[in-house]
Chain A
Amino acid sequence: GAVVSQHPSRVICKSGTSVKIECRSLDFQATTMFWYRQFPKQSLMLMATSNEGSKATYEQGVEKDKFLINHASLTLSTLTVTSAHPEDSSFYICSARGRGGVTDTQYFGPGTRLTVL
């Protein structure tokens, strides 16, 4: 299957700092990338959808000024958590989908565990 990488895999930061997470599709062009957040014992919650070269669309309740998403190329999307607070501590997972649209499988990155002290 397709490979999606995420970096870093784990980050610990102080409250008030910003953290950038990178998501790359390694062997295919991802026209659409998705960012999810997962709290312990819960399912994945979609935060936002980004298409290459256009602004991300955010799900209801997700602050776009706090979670900045940039989909700079067909293989790279970044999520920046600005002014992180302890309640932002979570498992952040990106996924990528190819040119097939909704008939194409979404492949997930390995996730980034964010801990805000």
Chain B
Amino acid sequence: GQNIDQPTEMTATEGAIVQINCTYQTSGFNGLFWYQQHAGEAPTFLSYNVLDGLEEKGRFSSFLSRSKGYSYLLLKELQMKDSASYLCAGYNQGGKLIFGQGTELSVKP
């Protein structure tokens, strides 16, 4: 089976750095995705990690450790518009993208 866990909500201050963690257990692994979803909108793709290590993309970075079943999304220089839900997702053995419950990030001035 597959379980993906992430914190339900987090709060951070504008300009700060925040790390959103995701742990997963899966019988098959084909990479880990992070998506951003604003209220009432569909998810937008942020990153895809299939190898261990950190991948940086502007203010957002994503890290993966396959041996630990662990990933995190790092957001730097937080802006108010970063307030959103961040979804960790991975493919199961059937090739279906399965989502964690999402982390609701609130950025405060």
Is there contact, CB below 8 Å, between B91 and A111? no
- State whether B42 touches A43 (Cβ < 8 A): no
B77-109 interface mask toward A, CB cutoff 8 Å, 1 = contact, 0 = none? 000000000010001000111111110000000
Residues 39-78 of chain A, each 1 if its beta carbon lies under 8 Å from chain B, else 0: 0001110100100000000000000000000000000000
- Bound-state CA distance A18–B19 (Å) is 43
Beyond A34-B97, A43-B99, A107-B45, is A102–B91 a contact (Cβ under 8 Å)? Answer: yes
Interface set, chain B 48-87, CB cutoff 8 A to A: 48, 50, 87
Q: Does A95 contact B (CB under 8 A)?
A: yes
Q: Given the complex, which residues of A lie within 8 Å of B31, measured CB to CB? A: 102-103
Q: Interface residue count for B (Cβ, 8 Å)? A: 22
The answer to whether A46 and B91 touch across the interface, beta carbons within 8 angstroms, is: no
Shortest C-beta distance, A33 to chain B (Å), equals: 12
Alpha-carbon separation in the docked complex, A46 to B87 (Å): 14
Grouping DSSP codes into helix (H, G, I), strand (E, B) and loop, the B interface class, with mixed when no group exceeds half, is loop
B50 to chain A: closest CB distance in Å? Answer: 7
Q: Count of A-B contacts with CB under 8 A?
A: 50
Interface residues on A, range: 20 to 34
Question: In the complex the two chains form, is A49's CB within 8 Å of B43's CB?
Answer: no
Task: Assess the A103–B50 pair: CB atoms within 8 A.
Answer: yes
Interface of chain B residues 10 through 51 with chain A (CB within 8 A): 30-31, 33, 35, 40-45, 48, 50
Contact B101 A111 (CB under 8 A): no
Q: Does A113 contact B (CB under 8 A)?
A: yes
Name the interface residues of A85-110: CB closer than 8 Å to any CB of B: 91, 93, 95, 101-103, 105-110
Check B41 against A43 for contact (C-beta < 8 Å). Answer: no
Q: Which residues of A contact B101 (CB under 8 A)?
A: 42-43
B-side contacts of A106, CB under 8 Å: 33, 45, 97
28 contacts between A and B (CB under 8 A): A1-B45, A6-B42, A34-B96, A34-B97, A42-B101, A43-B101, A44-B43, A44-B99, A46-B96, A46-B97, A46-B98, A49-B95, A49-B96, A95-B97, A101-B95, A102-B30, A102-B31, A102-B91, A102-B95, A103-B50, A106-B33, A106-B45, A108-B35, A108-B44, A108-B45, A110-B41, A111-B42, A113-B40
